[in-house]
Amino acid sequence: MIIPFLQKKKNLSINYIFKALKIKENKNDLRIQDIKDLRTAGSKDLSFFNSLRYVDLLKKTSAKFILTEAKYLKLVRSFSNPILVENVLLAVSTVTNLFYPNSLNDAVDFVVKKPLKKNYKKIKFGSNVLIGKNVKIGENTIIGHNTIIESNVRIGKNCIIGNNILIKNTIIYNNVRILDGTIIGKKGFGFFPNQNMNLRYPHIGMVIIDDNVEIGCNNTIDRGSISNTFIGKNTFLDNQVHVAHNVNIGKNCIITGQVGFAGSSTIGNNVQIGGQAGISGHIKVGNNVKIGGGSGVLKNIPDNTRIMGYPAKDIRKFLIDNK
């Protein structure tokens, strides 16, 4: 189920994109359908490549054109049509704004209003609830006091959405419980530093929360930048957890209080993470991994591993070093 939360312009010519990037026009003025990540890009889409971490995705991508830097030019040319730029992420931001010109202007949904009970049968609302347009909520779901659900959000059956919650740009499946004070679907913390004015990075992805998930109090879950933020089935997040943009958390994970996930980190299934641990961006934590409280995870962690410390290391080595 894919719900568009932002309006996208129709197909753009490649030369229109080249002109915006201030590079030489292409002889064949093809039409580009969208900008997507390497994994989801189709044959009419544009994508980007700026790290060898994603070389396996590059080999499999269907993207017609790929934004990249000079050092990756030969590699990218083996699999797609490279577009050479000085700063890949800045170029991605420029192209994203071409396709989604309102992507930076969605801070407030001004069409939210008190829900009409005839439109939401078998749903219980608390006081001061506000609902946007085209919101769908499944049967036997409870929405708590002072909660705002912005336009186009989808919430499944038998969910409990607590008090003082904001949900936007999000799809929630069945039997999900979200506790008080949580914010889901806001833009991520992405920008380009500049001495005069920092340039904000557009976020066109969403948040997807699968069945039987529990989200604790005062959590913040950012929507994706190009891809989506995802939380897998039966995963439980304790209070004050931060999930940044494009994070992918697997099934049956237990995440305790004050854990932070940096952008584009991937967490496997059956992972347990102790309180105040930090997971660096763009790394992969395998299945059945246990991470001790207060740890700093700075590199990929293989399956069936127990780690602890900063930087995180095998727990037996950590205990020996700190005996």
Residue 73 lies in a domain: yes
- Are 134 and 264 within one domain? yes
| Helical spans, DSSP H, in the chain | 14-21, 55-60, 73-77, 88-99, 315-321
Return the amino acid letter for 1. M
pLDDT band at 142 (very low <50, low <70, confident <90, very high): very high
In this prediction, residue 83 carries a pLDDT of 93
Radius of gyration (C-alpha) of the chain in whole angstroms: 21
User: Which residue range(s) make up the domain with 229?
Assistant: 117-321
- Are 129 and 273 within one domain? yes
List the CATH number of the domain containing 27. Answer: 3.40.1390.10
Residue 104 lies in a domain: no
Average pLDDT in the 282-286 region?
95
Query: pLDDT tens across 58-73, in order?
Result: 999 999 999 999 999 9
Per DSSP, 269 falls in state S
In this prediction, residue 267 carries a pLDDT of 98
- Are 181 and 273 within one domain? yes
- Are 167 and 311 within one domain? yes
Kindly report which listed range (2-6, 35-39, 113-117) carries the lowest average pLDDT score: 2-6
- Are 122 and 54 within one domain? no
Query: pLDDT tens across 168-210, in order?
Result: 999 999 999 999 999 999 999 988 887 788 888 899 999 999 9
Residues of the chain with pLDDT > 70, as a percent, come to: 99
Query: pLDDT tens across 91-109, in order?
Result: 999 999 999 988 888 789 9
- Are 79 and 142 within one domain? no
**203 a catalytic residue:** no
Cβ within 8 Å of residue 305, ≥6 positions away: 286, 289, 290, 314
Kindly report which listed range (43-57, 83-97, 170-184, 308-322) carries the lowest average pLDDT score: 308-322
The edge-to-edge listing of strands for the beta sheet with 207-209 is: 136-137, 154-155, 170-172, 207-209, 229-231, 248-249, 266-267, 284-285
- In degrees rounded to 5, what are phi and psi of residue 178? -120, 120
Is the pLDDT assigned to residue 302 strictly greater than 90? yes
In this prediction, residue 65 carries a pLDDT of 93
Quick check: helix, strand or coil at residue 254? strand
In this prediction, residue 9 carries a pLDDT of 87
- Are 145 and 283 within one domain? yes
Is the pLDDT assigned to residue 2 strictly greater than 60? no
In this prediction, residue 179 carries a pLDDT of 98
Residue 226 lies in a domain: yes
Average pLDDT in the 110-116 region?
94
pLDDT band at 5 (very low <50, low <70, confident <90, very high): confident
In this prediction, residue 93 carries a pLDDT of 92
Q: Among residues 99, 133, 153, which one ends one of the domains?
A: 99
Strand partners, 46: 35, 65
* Mean pLDDT score across all residues of the chain: 93
pLDDT band at 321 (very low <50, low <70, confident <90, very high): confident
Q: Among residues 44, 70, 99, which one ends one of the domains?
A: 99
In this prediction, residue 3 carries a pLDDT of 61
- Are 161 and 62 within one domain? no
Q: Is the model more confident about 220 or about 8?
A: 220
Residue 4 lies in a domain: no
List the CATH number of the domain containing 149. Answer: 2.160.10.10
In this prediction, residue 195 carries a pLDDT of 78
- Are 182 and 53 within one domain? no
- Are 89 and 132 within one domain? no
Residue 84 lies in a domain: yes
- Highest mean pLDDT range out of 8-22, 279-293, 301-315? 279-293
Kindly report which listed range (225-229, 235-239, 251-255) carries the lowest average pLDDT score: 225-229
How many domains in the chain?
2
Q: Among residues 99, 133, 151, which one ends one of the domains?
A: 99
Distance CA 21, CA 88 (A): 11
